Amino acid sequence: MILPYALRLVCLCFASFFVLNAAAGLLVRIASASAIRFAESKTPNAAARFLLAAHLFPVALATLFVLALCVPSYLWLEPTAGAERVGGICALLGLLGVATCLHSMARTAISLFASLRHYRLCRLGGQEMRLPGAPSPTVVLEGEAPLLAMFGLLRSRLLISRGVLRTLSAEELDATLSHEHAHRTSRDNFKRLLLLLAPDIFPFVRAFRTLEHSWAKFTEWAADDQATAGDSSRAIFLAAALVQVARMGSGPRLPFLSTSLLARDRDLAVRVNRLLRAAPVTPALPSKTRPLLLAASFLFAGCLVALLIAPPTLSLVHELLELLLH
């Protein structure tokens, strides 16, 4: 297949993106069980951050390679004159790269639309009000469904059913609202969007399901910890609220881009037992070494970028791209 200069660049970008994303993704998939075990030894907040980073690592690496190395080396070293032949394998990899990216974009768009539609439908039938202690404007729905969920990416909205309001005591409600507030401050819905946007290893193959489930579990635990703030009685109220809401029966099926008190919770007993543990989990205070670590990371990243964009590195990358192209 003979392609002009710009199309060759596009083909190379998608092909190298696909190869790197698939290779790194496979590594992450193989290491996911160990990663989850490692995360379990950390605090829920750190564990959730680690698993999210592991999930996003392949796409971040592939994007970085394409933008920082592939494009500059091509623009700098590839002669602009004339069309050139592109190998069948490169074209196929490029197409697979396009398919993987399009699939993740379509999935994200569908989820965004479903979440928006669900929220609008609930708002049409509900009543918007401000509950005392609620982190954001709340839509109260009539009915006995055990619904307590946070919708929205930037301006979050809380959905709660009249049944939940009636069932929970003031203290239990306060604890659950703090739990939802914790999801809001950690921007968990936005992180869900990132997970959806991250392309899979191959189109239509969800390889990171286990990582996603574990991440969701740790975000719930982290929100529990933030809501109870190391206070045993608050922890009991939150545990009681969880059991009360679970006792209300079936939970509504919610869109992926929302956080709910119970809907996706498969380990209710573990969560309640965790809350009832004798020593309450205190949220980690910001470490004094954090700014130092951050500065060191920036320095390291700067050195790495300088090394990467050095002419010999770009020439090497260009040679690799030529190999892939033909």
Partner 1 sequence: MIRFLKNRIAGGADPSQSLALGSLEFELMEILWSCEESNVRDLVPKLSRPLAYTTVMTTLDRLFKKGLLGRHKSDRAFVYSPLFSRQEWERKRAGNLVADFLAGPRPSRELLLSCLLDAVGEHDAALLDELEKKIRSRRKELSRQGQP
Question: Which residue's structure tokens are 């010999």?
Answer: 312
C-beta of residue 105 within 8 angstroms of C-beta of residue 197 = yes
C-beta of residue 148 within 8 angstroms of C-beta of residue 126 = no
State the nearest-atom distance from the C-beta of 195 to partner 1, in Å. 21
State the nearest-atom distance from the C-beta of 174 to partner 1, in Å. 13
C-beta of residue 137 within 8 angstroms of C-beta of residue 157 = yes
- Residues making contact with partner 1 (CB under 8 A): 121-122, 124-126, 141-145, 147, 161, 232-233, 236, 239-240, 243, 246-247, 249-253, 263, 268-269, 272-273, 276
State the nearest-atom distance from the C-beta of 149 to partner 1, in Å. 11
C-beta of residue 145 within 8 angstroms of C-beta of residue 163 = yes
User: For the chain, how many helices (H) and strands (E)?
Assistant: 12, 7
- Per DSSP, the three-state class of 131 is coil
| Nearer of residues 117 and 326 to partner 1, judged by Cβ | 117
| Nearer of residues 25 and 126 to partner 1, judged by Cβ | 126
For 276, other C-beta atoms within 10 Å of its C-beta total 14
| Nearer of residues 8 and 157 to partner 1, judged by Cβ | 157
State the nearest-atom distance from the C-beta of 43 to partner 1, in Å. 22
Residue 259 host element (H or E)? strand 258-260
Gap between the terminal Cα atoms of the chain: 10
Q: Which residues, 6 or more positions from 176, have their beta carbon under 8 angstroms from its beta carbon? A: 148, 168, 227, 238, 241, 245, 261
Q: Which of 228, 229, 164, 219 is nearest to 189 (CA)?
A: 219
| Nearer of residues 9 and 276 to partner 1, judged by Cβ | 276
| Nearer of residues 122 and 317 to partner 1, judged by Cβ | 122
| Nearer of residues 12 and 236 to partner 1, judged by Cβ | 236
State the nearest-atom distance from the C-beta of 30 to partner 1, in Å. 32
State the nearest-atom distance from the C-beta of 255 to partner 1, in Å. 12
- Per DSSP, the three-state class of 202 is coil
